[in-house]
A and B are shown apart, each in its own frame.
Chain A
Amino acid sequence: MNRTIAPPIKDAVDFDIKLKPYEQFKLDNGIPVYVMKSDEQDTLQLELVFPAGSWYESESLEAAATNFLMKNGTSKHTAQEINESIDYHGAYLNRNAYHENATYTLHCLTKHTEVLLPVLQEVIQDPIFPEEELNLYKQNQKQKLAVNLLKCDFVANRFIDKYLFGEFHPYGRVSSMMAYDALQSESLHAFYRKHYTYNNCKIFIAGNLPANIIPLLNQYFGTTQWNGDTHLVKLDLPIQPAEEKKFRIFNDENGVQGAVRVARHFPNRYHPDFPKMLVLNTIFGGYFGSRLMSNIREEKGYTYGIYSQLYNFRQTSALNIQTEAGRDVCEATIDEIYKELLRLQNEPVPQEELDLVRNYMIGSILGDLDGAFQLIQRWKNLILNDLDENYFYNNIKTIKTITAEELQQLAKQYFTPGDFYELVVI
């Protein structure tokens, strides 16, 4: 046996990836339910999604506070009683507010579904936002913020989004002590009544489902027009990018590392360049073997890790390179980032590297589609963005067929150093 010779492999282009379809139901009041069944385990995941993200705020932090506090008291039960019934059944009820949407997600053993649905119903349809819970929330969030503001990476993330989108745009707006202080129970309640309505609700459910799951969902979410009809209008908002491009901030005199961010605007996922950029970005800084990692971590040892990412925001996206590097090598890191950008502009990606990235990306998608929870996640992202499986298949096709010339062309268009914002927070 010759150990220097790699065993033969099956290439990415030969994998036929199929996105397993979901089943769709409608509750009696019209709420759509997207279902991905799998009976291999005794667990399920139930997610309710509402257009209730920071986009719709009239006061900063309204969306996050509303989302958080819905679980902390209803007209029938206190926060503690709600937590107790969820914990007693070993379930997890997570909530999240993003830029566009806000979610409530229940994870539980299938056998407990029936007793947990009424709890979820109460949280979604009958929260009362007690004054005491709000005050506690403000106090604890402010304390958390005070700690986070000492971290260079946290501070850098806030600033780079502000430079890209402007502090008045939902994508660039950040939390503050003042904004927490200004939160009021009545306005949270009003935000809740407007956004968490039956006609704005979508339900995604996956895993091993009780046979009567649809009747159950109907019983708790489908019979009434809870919170009434609201029709939300979502228009694009103008972004206000910073005029300056280079920023250096000293946040901690004794800091031994700096948070480096290098970022530029990029069109959203509906633009034909987006799927192509997913490939170019992977080559550049999207996986462990990327140009940035190979050079700045594996060759120079400036950092524990460096990555570039494409934002998944709806209106407009951005390309953001981020790392924490040794204090004395932050500037050298930025130089190397620019060198790598220019290298992709000036030289075509070698065939072997392109093949490797294709295979890596396809293998990674194959792994991501493993299991009902992951599949419904993939579908949810398509559905919430008004896309269908064709978008997914088109991305796969791009990965399999994009050429080195196309990638170089793309780099020439988007990888010009002068177009990037750069920031170091020490």
Chain B
Amino acid sequence: MIHYNKFTLANGLRVIVHEDHTTPMAVINVLYDVGARDENPAQTGFAHLFEHLMFGGSINIPSYDEPLQMAGGENNAYTTSDLTNYYIQLPAENIETGFWLESDRMLSLAFDEKSLDVQRKVVSEEFKEHYINKPYGDVWHKMRELAYTTHPYRWMTIGKELSHIENAKLEDVKAFFFKYYRPVNAILAVGGNVTVDQVKALAEKWFGDIPSGEKYQRNLPAEPAQEAAHKLDVKASVPLDALYKCYHMYARTDKRYYAADLISDILGGGSSSRLHQVLVKEKKLFSNIDCYHFGSLDAGLMTIEGKLVKGVKMKDAEKAIQIELEKLQNEVISERELQKVKNRVESQLAFEDMSLLNRANNLAFYELLGDAALMNHEFENYEVVTAKEIHEEAKLLLDEKNSNTIYYYAAS
């Protein structure tokens, strides 16, 4: 049970406070309700590039990092398809430094041409490091285009192509900031050795006078239900053949999400999971195989990916996966196996909650989902899933018509 208090400033900024007096530290987490899915299709990668620019100085403070480090703090940020999140950890005595820095960059950035120029290059190198210069690095780019015809999950957070980042202009940066980075679109979560009264006073003092901004009304094109399987052959200079299969699943707030999540764990969670046990250990067709999803807010993809043992034919490997999926569709799983995956979720949630930073981050995330209180009821959503529901969901979810397959061949 995570305790917290919640209030909203007059300008619409939602604030969550989580007191923890066992630590000398404090964390400040600022979540902005904007991600790569909100981008213009001709300017992809912008939300993430923008995250980099948030460190290039704000209207009253030329450098973000230096004063924070001077106060003994560290920070980082990440962008996903759904949201952008910034976080700070620092000694609790110096927490006001964090309020000062975060509020000033919510007030306005410095919009410095030089910073944009450099960060365009930095992000290009990030793009190369993770997606071009790595074996199989392009697979998600291809998979998203294969699986989505309409929804903006069609492109990766880093961007669809390098040129979109290289062409970013300062006026685009400004427009983006004033559209999305407003108090009314943000959630501030503060945790650690602080009190609610202290955070209230600091939030009023530093964030209270920032203009509210206009609430962003998200109106994204929905992905139509997939009618037929999509398949793609890829040939690249990699040493091993690999197989990727993705199935459209449910939005994060859909009740069926939890059954789907448990299905991915039955198939791919841990060394005792079905795919690993049968396909790696018994049949020796794959040298590794995983099943996972990203927990996307809109309907995401459940992914099965594996590398084939040298000499194994793609057809045979795919057939063997198919047999495992059909087992889930044809037979109801045992109560013990269901209990296993629920136990794994229980444990995973407990370990996640150990870190103060995760707790603050999760409170903000669940508030974005609708209410921070959801965080304390998450496990209940898993507990009520029945073997029969898993069976029903497996039939729908793992239907071949719902599948997107990439056959990634090693060019020899």
Does A176 have its Cβ within 8 Å of any Cβ on chain B? no
Does A3 have its Cβ within 8 Å of any Cβ on chain B? yes
- Are the C-beta atoms of B91 and A139 separated by less than 8 Å? no
Q: Which of A47-97 contact B (CB under 8 A)?
A: 79-80, 83-84, 86-92
- Are the C-beta atoms of A362 and B72 separated by less than 8 Å? yes
* Complex interface: chain A residues within 8 A of B59 (CB): 3
Does A255 have its Cβ within 8 Å of any Cβ on chain B? yes
Q: Which of A327-365 contact B (CB under 8 A)?
A: 355-357, 359-360, 362-364
- Are the C-beta atoms of A324 and B347 separated by less than 8 Å? no
Distance A351 CA – B19 CA, assembled complex (angstroms): 36
Does B255 have its Cβ within 8 Å of any Cβ on chain A? no
- A144, A300, A325, A371: the one within 8 Å of B354 (CB): A371
- Are the C-beta atoms of B340 and A88 separated by less than 8 Å? yes
- Are the C-beta atoms of B72 and A359 separated by less than 8 Å? yes
* Complex interface: chain A residues within 8 A of B354 (CB): 41, 43, 371, 373
* Complex interface: chain A residues within 8 A of B146 (CB): none
- Are the C-beta atoms of B60 and A3 separated by less than 8 Å? yes
- B79-122: contact bitstring with A at CB < 8 Å (1 yes, 0 no)? 00000000001110110110110011001000000000111111
* Complex interface: chain A residues within 8 A of B307 (CB): 143, 147
Does A129 have its Cβ within 8 Å of any Cβ on chain B? no
Q: Which of B273-297 contact A (CB under 8 A)?
A: 273, 277, 280-281, 284, 287-288
Q: Which of A6-14, A164-172, A266-274, A384-392 contacts B (4 or more CB under 8 A)?
A: A6-14
Does A301 have its Cβ within 8 Å of any Cβ on chain B? yes
Does B253 have its Cβ within 8 Å of any Cβ on chain A? no
* Complex interface: chain B residues within 8 A of A34 (CB): none
A15 nearest in chain B by CB position:
B91
- Are the C-beta atoms of B22 and A40 separated by less than 8 Å? yes
Does A182 have its Cβ within 8 Å of any Cβ on chain B? no
- Are the C-beta atoms of B281 and A257 separated by less than 8 Å? no
- Are the C-beta atoms of B353 and A41 separated by less than 8 Å? yes
Does B150 have its Cβ within 8 Å of any Cβ on chain A? no
Q: Which of B306-339 contact A (CB under 8 A)?
A: 307, 309-310, 336, 339
- A143, A301, A303: the one within 8 Å of B120 (CB): A301
- Are the C-beta atoms of B128 and A87 separated by less than 8 Å? no
- Are the C-beta atoms of B272 and A289 separated by less than 8 Å? no
Does B73 have its Cβ within 8 Å of any Cβ on chain A? yes
Distance A84 CA – B339 CA, assembled complex (angstroms): 12
Does A98 have its Cβ within 8 Å of any Cβ on chain B? no
- Are the C-beta atoms of B239 and A304 separated by less than 8 Å? no
Q: Which of B3-11, B129-137, B227-235 contacts A (4 or more CB under 8 A)?
A: B129-137
Distance A227 CA – B136 CA, assembled complex (angstroms): 45
Distance A98 CA – B83 CA, assembled complex (angstroms): 38
- Are the C-beta atoms of A108 and B347 separated by less than 8 Å? yes
- Are the C-beta atoms of A301 and B118 separated by less than 8 Å? yes
Q: Which of A281-305 contact B (CB under 8 A)?
A: 287-289, 297-304
Does B71 have its Cβ within 8 Å of any Cβ on chain A? yes
Count contacts between A and B, CB distance < 8 Å.
200
Distance A147 CA – B239 CA, assembled complex (angstroms): 6
B202 nearest in chain A by CB position:
A7
* Complex interface: chain A residues within 8 A of B128 (CB): 256-257, 326
Q: How large is the interface on B (under 10, 10 to 19, 20 to 34, 35 or more residues)?
A: 35 or more
- B71, B136, B336: the one within 8 Å of A88 (CB): B336
* Complex interface: chain B residues within 8 A of A90 (CB): 343-348
Does A152 have its Cβ within 8 Å of any Cβ on chain B? yes
Does A146 have its Cβ within 8 Å of any Cβ on chain B? yes
A267 to chain B: closest CB distance in Å? 28
Does A109 have its Cβ within 8 Å of any Cβ on chain B? yes
* Complex interface: chain B residues within 8 A of A256 (CB): 128, 132-133
- Are the C-beta atoms of A299 and B132 separated by less than 8 Å? no
Q: Which of B38-46, B62-70, B387-395 contacts A (4 or more CB under 8 A)?
A: B62-70
Does A42 have its Cβ within 8 Å of any Cβ on chain B? yes
* Complex interface: chain B residues within 8 A of A373 (CB): 354
Distance A302 CA – B237 CA, assembled complex (angstroms): 26
Does A1 have its Cβ within 8 Å of any Cβ on chain B? yes
* Complex interface: chain B residues within 8 A of A109 (CB): 346-347, 350
Distance A360 CA – B104 CA, assembled complex (angstroms): 21
- Are the C-beta atoms of B125 and A7 separated by less than 8 Å? no
- Are the C-beta atoms of B351 and A43 separated by less than 8 Å? yes
Q: Which A residues lie at the B interface, using CB under 8 A?
A: 1, 3-4, 6-7, 9-10, 12, 15, 40-43, 79-80, 83-84, 86-92, 107-109, 136, 139-140, 143-144, 146-147, 149-152, 252, 254-257, 287-289, 297-304, 324-326, 355-357, 359-360, 362-364, 366-367, 370-371, 373
What are 28 A-B contacts defined by CB distance under 8 Å? A3-B103, A6-B61, A9-B71, A12-B72, A15-B72, A79-B271, A87-B340, A88-B343, A90-B344, A90-B347, A107-B351, A139-B284, A139-B309, A147-B239, A254-B237, A257-B128, A289-B69, A297-B122, A298-B122, A301-B122, A324-B125, A355-B70, A360-B70, A360-B73, A363-B71, A363-B73, A366-B91, A371-B354
Other CB < 8 Å A-B pairs besides A90-B345, A356-B69, A371-B23, 4 of them? A83-B277, A298-B118, A363-B74, A363-B90
Q: Which B residues lie at the A interface, using CB under 8 A?
A: 22-25, 59-61, 65-67, 69-74, 89-91, 93-94, 96-97, 99-100, 103-104, 107, 117-126, 128-129, 132-136, 205, 237-240, 269-273, 277, 280-281, 284, 287-288, 307, 309-310, 336, 339-340, 343-348, 350-351, 353-356
Closest 7 CB pairs of A and B: A363-B72, A301-B121, A90-B347, A83-B272, A3-B60, A7-B96, A90-B343
